[in-house]
Amino acid sequence: MVICYSLTHLQRELSLISDNYKTGFVPTMGALHQGHISLVKRAHELSDKVIVSIFVNPTQFNNPLDLERYPRTVEEDCKRLEEAGADIVFVPTVGDIYPQKDERMFDLGGLDSVGEGPRRPGHFNGVAQVVTRLFDIVKPRYAYFGEKDFQQLSIIRYFTKELNYPVEIISCPTIREEDGLAMSSRNMLLTTEQRAAAPLIYKTLKMARERSQAQILSPDELCNWVTGEINSNSMLKTEYVEIVNSLTLRLVKNWNDHEQIQMCVAVFAGSVRLIDNIKLK
């Protein structure tokens, strides 16, 4: 496995890869866990060469404190990636990715009008900036993203199609801890008490899925029920609970108007913000 700490080094390594090879790319912000590693393993199944980037992208953080305390564990990450069989790890500097200020504004097709969009202004535009920049550099045949970030996945699919990127976006299922908590780099910031409370999020989502099948509660009523359940634990505070059409991400008002439906939540455990989602239909 080769570790490239600069753009020039990465470009040299990429130039050595045969044009016949199908490259797979896994962009990450590091502090890697089994969720990230599952993407690398999936990449191995379809790609001849697997490239992983580790870059904490400043333009997608709307909260400077969140950026400052985002965990950084590059050495440990590289060990895990070597074990997982990555071929190249790209650890660029901010100057490599943004030689000048990135002023680009992306058409996100309105997919940012719910969920994370209004709560994290500029977040998805920052994601589009870094993902397009990385795609321009790496030029992958396949790129792998987790369903844990359901809305991000939809938005990346949208703009890569709009912009005609010749890359196939592959989605990978959410990897969870044994108690159901979705793995996240932010989990390591939780106190013992917050960590003990956090599995209630997915437990409630699973109960919501059962209730949605009975269709006794309307989508709005089910969101209120989920909010009440999660907030019944004093360690947790929901920021939003939304039920959306899985393809358009429009809010669902009636169960029968939509073929595919997803429930998405953001929950604060103290100042740590956790997101999760579940397919209802």
Query: Are 142 and 24 a contacting pair, CB within 8 Å?
Result: yes
Total residues in contact with ligand AMP, by rule CB under 6 A? 17
Give first-to-last CA distance, the chain, whole Å: 41
Q: Give the nearer residue to ligand AMP in terms of CB position, either 89 or 222.
A: 89
CA distances from residue 238 to 67, 201, 227, 228, 271 in whole angstroms, order as listed: 21, 9, 6, 9, 12
Query: Are 83 and 44 a contacting pair, CB within 8 Å?
Result: no
3-class SS at 23?
A: strand
Among 23, 129, 185, 238, binds ligand AMP (CB under 6 A): 185
Q: How far is the CB of 214 from ligand AMP (least distance, A)?
A: 28
Q: Which of 9, 33, 36, 123 is catalytic?
A: 36
CA–CA distance, 117 with 266 (Å, rounded to integer): 12
Among the residue ranges 7-15, 27-35, 76-84, 159-167, the one whose residues contact ligand AMP (CB under 6 A): 27-35
Among the residue ranges 12-20, 108-116, 144-152, 262-270, the one whose residues contact ligand AMP (CB under 6 A): 144-152
Q: Is 175 in the site for ligand AMP (CB under 6 A)?
A: yes
Q: Give the nearer residue to ligand AMP in terms of CB position, either 106 or 144.
A: 144
Among the residue ranges 62-70, 100-108, 146-154, 260-268, the one whose residues contact ligand AMP (CB under 6 A): 146-154
Q: How far is the CB of 28 from ligand AMP (least distance, A)?
A: 4
Query: Are 176 and 34 a contacting pair, CB within 8 Å?
Result: no
User: Which residues, 221 to 250, sit near ligand AMP by CB under 6 A?
Assistant: none
Among 29, 78, 226, 264, binds ligand AMP (CB under 6 A): 29
User: Helices (H) and strands (E) in the chain — how many of each?
Assistant: 11, 9
Element (H, E) at 82: helix 74-84
Tell me the two tokens of residue 203: 């437990």
Among 35, 92, 115, 117, binds ligand AMP (CB under 6 A): 35
Among the residue ranges 15-23, 71-79, 98-106, 145-153, the one whose residues contact ligand AMP (CB under 6 A): 145-153
Query: Are 147 and 164 a contacting pair, CB within 8 Å?
Result: no
Q: How far is the CB of 146 from ligand AMP (least distance, A)?
A: 2
Active site residue 36: yes
Among residues 205, 150, 202, the alpha carbon closest in space to that of 176 is found at: 202
Among 4, 24, 37, 38, binds ligand AMP (CB under 6 A): 38
Q: Is 50 left (phi over 0), alpha (psi -120 to 50) or beta?
A: beta
Residue numbers of the site for ligand AMP (CB under 6 A)?
28-29, 35-36, 38-39, 145-146, 148-149, 172, 174-175, 182-185
What amino acid positions are annotated as catalytic residues?
36
